[in-house]
Amino acid sequence: MFMKKKILFVIPSLKIGGIENALINMLEHFDYEKFDVYVFVFHYDEAQVSRVDKRVHILKGGSLLNIVAMTMNDARAKGMGTALIRAVLAVLCKALGSKSVFSVIYLFERKIKDMDIAVSYSNNVNTNSTYYGSNLFVLKKVKAPRKLAWLHVDYDAMEMDNDINNCEYRTFDGVVAVSDAVKDAFLKCNPEMKDKTYTVYNVLPKAFNSGFVAAIEKNKQTIVTVGRLDPNKNQLQCLEIAKKLVADGIDFKWYLVGDGQQRIEVEEKIIRKRLEGIVEVTGYTLDVNKYLSGADIFVSTSLSESYGMSVVEAQAMGLPVVVKSYPAAKEIVDGTNGILVEDYEEMYQQIKMLLTDKDKYEELKKNTKVLQKDEESMKALYEMIGNI
């Protein structure tokens, strides 16, 4: 009788975000005839968990692990007691190091046994913050003959090259990078892992390009940029480009879809540059696709990305994309299915061309496509699992 393999994915939470969406999308494509799939979440939230394929078994952490994996906003919503515990844990992580704090928290967690494969699906953000711990959990609290770690960030750019991270990754049977660029950056710091590091691209949701109702009124040309409002995503450059386009007499609307630490700064600069009604910050949204489905152009100003899933989603919608170059971008945009630029002056010129030259716009739109196929990514995943 054929026995399904049990595979466990460990992740701090299932909030809306790039890593979380990547896991949820992949679970839609999984072969449940061959695998029993489990997901262990530190912080359990019913609304977040409801997004996961119903065939997945959800496991949740204990009280302390649940609190440490909350955002401060989530903790405050639970009450002052929860917020105080979360704040103390954050201070301890900063003072003592995340590994020490999480090691104590894990003393109160039951060990997970009888798995064939255990996967740490989230990488540490900082070794002195609460955004930590899935690698350590898999290594210390899960019993499985094969253990893998997913890597979603540029190891060098995110300053992950330290003794704690390197020691953890070198302990795994395999490391899975979401792009060749991520793989190369990791191997520069951990060359001895060459034969144990693989590339598996992220996948789109199964029913991605259907049934979306646009949130954009189509009375003018529209541009969309998606991402957290932070220095790495660099949406402030959108305002500089928008100001030039206005000076050129071009009528357009630019939506910045997202929220983050720079939101106040971005909104203040919109007012100072007299871009009200031209550039709009939408804030956090569960449904980015309602903006993509009504747009004419997608623009990415990011300084670095592990892969660039929002660019891929725009391409899947048939949107011409203009992308500031970073290592992984070349795995998404090949020069025919989108425009890759080296600097923001070139980005301005290319956006202006797309807004003013209908023939060139239609030619690029016709050639827009996703380079990496979902079925090929899943095949690579299964082959990798079989080789470990």
Residues 358 and 379 in one domain: no
Domain membership flag for residue 212: no
Domain membership flag for residue 172: yes
Residues 46 and 165 in one domain: yes
The candidate with the shortest Cα–Cα distance to 325, out of 353, 292, 300, 352, is: 300
Rounded alpha-carbon distances, angstroms, from residue 378 to 30, 199, 292, 381, 385: 8, 11, 25, 5, 11
Residues 193 and 236 in one domain: no
Helix, strand, or coil (residue 208): coil
Domain membership flag for residue 132: yes
Residues 363 and 380 in one domain: no
Total of domains in the chain: 2
CATH number, residue 348: 3.40.50.2000
Domain membership flag for residue 46: yes
Q: Which two tokens stand for residue 334?
A: 């090949």
Distance of CA 120 to the CA centre of its chain: 15
Residues 327 and 383 in one domain: no
Domain membership flag for residue 215: no
Residues 109 and 50 in one domain: yes
Domain membership flag for residue 209: no
Residues 79 and 120 in one domain: yes
Domain membership flag for residue 214: no
Strands, sheet with 297-300, edge to edge from the N-terminal-most edge strand: 279-283, 252-257, 221-226, 297-300, 321-324, 339-341
Residues 185 and 227 in one domain: no
Tell me the residue range of the domain where 235 lies.
221-367
pLDDT in single tens digits along all 388 residues of the chain: 568 899 999 999 988 778 898 999 999 999 999 999 999 999 988 888 888 999 999 999 999 999 999 988 889 999 999 999 999 999 999 999 999 999 999 999 999 999 999 999 999 988 999 999 999 999 999 999 999 999 999 898 888 999 999 999 999 999 999 999 999 999 999 999 999 999 999 999 887 655 455 566 677 899 999 998 999 999 999 999 999 999 999 999 999 998 888 999 999 999 999 999 999 999 887 778 888 888 999 999 999 899 999 999 999 999 999 999 999 999 999 989 999 999 999 999 999 999 999 999 999 999 999 999 999 999 999 998 876 6
Residues 182 and 313 in one domain: no
Residues 182 and 243 in one domain: no
Residues 175 and 51 in one domain: yes
The candidate with the shortest Cα–Cα distance to 12, out of 130, 141, 166, is: 130
Domain membership flag for residue 336: yes
Cβ within 8 Å of residue 56, ≥6 positions away = 27, 37, 38, 39
Residues 181 and 322 in one domain: no
